[in-house]
A and B are shown apart, each in its own frame.
Chain A
Amino acid sequence: MKMQKKRYVLKFPPQSGDQPFSYHLVKDFDIRINILRAEVWPGKTGSLVLELEGTTTNLKNGIAYLKANQVSCEPLNKKITWDHIRCISCGNCTAVCFAGALQMDPEKWELQFDPEKCIVCELCVPACPLNLFKIDFRE
């Protein structure tokens, strides 16, 4: 079976903070999870950035399980927008992106963004002198 690896942003409704979703993803759907970022406030909302690895079927079923439990699950790249039309490729964002998601193309010296490497640290948002990054991690 072909394995897939992809990053997602999960958002939890207030009532779900006490449920062991990660356990079920691993145990019931054989999905390897890597927690890249977590913000959990008991009684309020919570957010998780996860890298999920599993077979196509298991990933699909795991995500369906989350959604059935009111946990939203969206691919990470939909949560980050970068206005590349206005980008001047100055490189300021690459200075703070220690995850290596934002890098300069070594030939053209234009900014390249690889959402699969992003860990949503959000350091690029204030680092951009043109304010071109928008991240919708919370609500």
Chain B
Amino acid sequence: MSIQKTYEEINEKIRRGEAVVLTAEEVSQMALTATPEEIAEKVDVVTTATFGAMCSSGAIVNFGHANPPIRMEKIRLNGVPAYEGLAAVDTYIGATACDPENPKYGGAHVIQDLVDGKDVELEAWGKGTDCYPRKHIKTIINKETVNEMILFNPRNAYQNYPVAVNSTSQMKYTYMGNLLPNMRNATYSTSGELSPLLNDPEMKTIGIGTRIFLGGTQGFVVWPGTQFNTSKPKNEYGVPVGNSATLAVMGNLKEMSSEFLQAAYYEKYGVSLFVGIGIPIPVLNADIAKNVSIRNEQIETTVCDYGVEGAPALGRVTYAELRSGEIEVQGKKIRTAPVSSLSKARKIAEILKQSILAGEFEISKPVQMFPTNTSLKSLKER
């Protein structure tokens, strides 16, 4: 008899305090001696996590109306431009936004300052209308004064990501870190066998409505992320060997913590935001148990030359090789370094595990699954 559990059965166990929860790293170890059937029988939920720089992130903020009111048609938060085309006092502050005069402080820093409860200067301009007569406002806001602040990230938690190297004779400054000339280093980004979408490669349990850990609180998967791509080549373990699926996520920024939401500045690149995401995967059957058992030596990704236009592929390596500190590409040994935090990802997976064990976090069945046949368009100029 093959095991088949329902979301509700697992939630019942969580409520009774009887659910068995492991992190994705723990279940990968267990799989060395247990079959997928045995794992499906014993384990109810597996927690996955990642903590990496995710540029496609930002926050929706509603400031409340001043008296007299203003229709904000140009908005600056600590000097950083925020989007002005959302009614009178709503805005969206993108993580990568910045004032070119002050490129090291951007939207991600504003978001972190808001999360930390710091005061932020709001300056806005409007043309003045009959219902919004005011033309200028300069004041101070913080997380207590605003109505809502909602983290809404259109593209997070990439399912796999390329390894970056640089074959040119010049240093290259990228979002994958500073790449030394002549392929003297290689950087990689995902948390490997702990990474959310690598543990559910076909997204059988992750979809619209999945409750997740986001930035220190509970959030949700609200849509497939932008650039969601299911047509990347897969290896023999069913894992795409480059960046493929993504998630759009949302959560209450007021409840988040800068321990799991960290602003970053990359030299000669710009601002980004480290986002902590944890996703529970219910072990409904042996198929899912097999997927969550994947190990670093079974997850491959593509090495790309970021020094050359189009970042051509140079080879394929496993996460076990990447974590060993050295990979071999085209006969050349290259030192590796991560650019996303595995120690933070582990912490998130453990927090999520403990909150499920404590009955504070229930799993949710997606209200709709993701598309299964998407590809990626490039921008054709005409």
Q: Which of B179, B337, B346 has the most CB of A within 10 A?
A: B337
Residues of B within 8 A of A96 (CB): 177-178, 180, 185
Q: Is B7 an interface residue (CB 8 A)?
A: no
Query: What is the minimal beta-carbon distance from B96 to any residue of chain A, in angstroms?
Result: 13
User: A96-B177, A98-B184, A127-B178 given as contacts; is B337 within 8 A of A91 (CB)?
Assistant: yes
**Residues on the A chain within 8 Å of B272, using CB:** 129
The yes or no answer to A130 lying at the interface (CB within 8 A) is yes
A94 beta carbon closer than 8 Å to chain B:
yes
B57 within 8 A of partner (CB) = no
Interface residues of B in 151-197 (CB under 8 A from A): 177-180, 184-185, 187
Contacting residues of chain A (64-101) with chain B, CB-CB under 8 angstroms: 88-92, 94-96, 98
Q: State which residues 263-298 of B face A: CB under 8 Å.
A: 263-267, 272, 274
Report whether over half of chain B's contact residues are helix, strand or loop; otherwise say mixed: strand
Check if A98 sits within 8 Å of B180, measured CB to CB: yes
Cβ of B109 to closest chain A Cβ, rounded Å: 11
Q: How many Å lie between the Cα of A88 and that of B343 in the bound state? A: 8
**In the bound complex, how far is the Cα of B323 from the Cα of A25, in angstroms?**
43
**A58 vs B132: C-alpha distance in the bound complex, in angstroms?**
79
A27 within 8 A of B: no
Q: How far is the CA of A94 from the CA of B178 in the complex (A)?
A: 10
Number of residues on chain B facing chain A (CB within 8 A): 31
Q: Is A48 an interface residue (CB 8 A)?
A: no
Cβ of B222 under 8 Å from chain A: no
Residue of A89, A106, A123 with most partner-chain B CB within 10 A: A89
Report the bound CA distance from A91 to B342 in whole Å. 9
Question: What are 27 contact pairs spanning A and B, CB under 8 A?
Answer: A88-B262, A88-B344, A89-B343, A89-B344, A90-B53, A90-B338, A90-B339, A90-B341, A92-B337, A92-B339, A94-B337, A95-B177, A95-B179, A95-B187, A95-B337, A96-B177, A104-B338, A109-B338, A109-B341, A109-B342, A109-B346, A110-B343, A126-B267, A129-B266, A129-B274, A130-B265, A131-B104
Residues of chain B at the chain A interface (Cβ within 8 Å) = 51-53, 104, 177-180, 184-185, 187, 262-267, 272, 274, 323, 325, 335, 337-344, 346
Known: A98-B184, A98-B335, A109-B342. 4 other contacts (CB 8 A): A90-B338, A90-B339, A108-B343, A126-B267
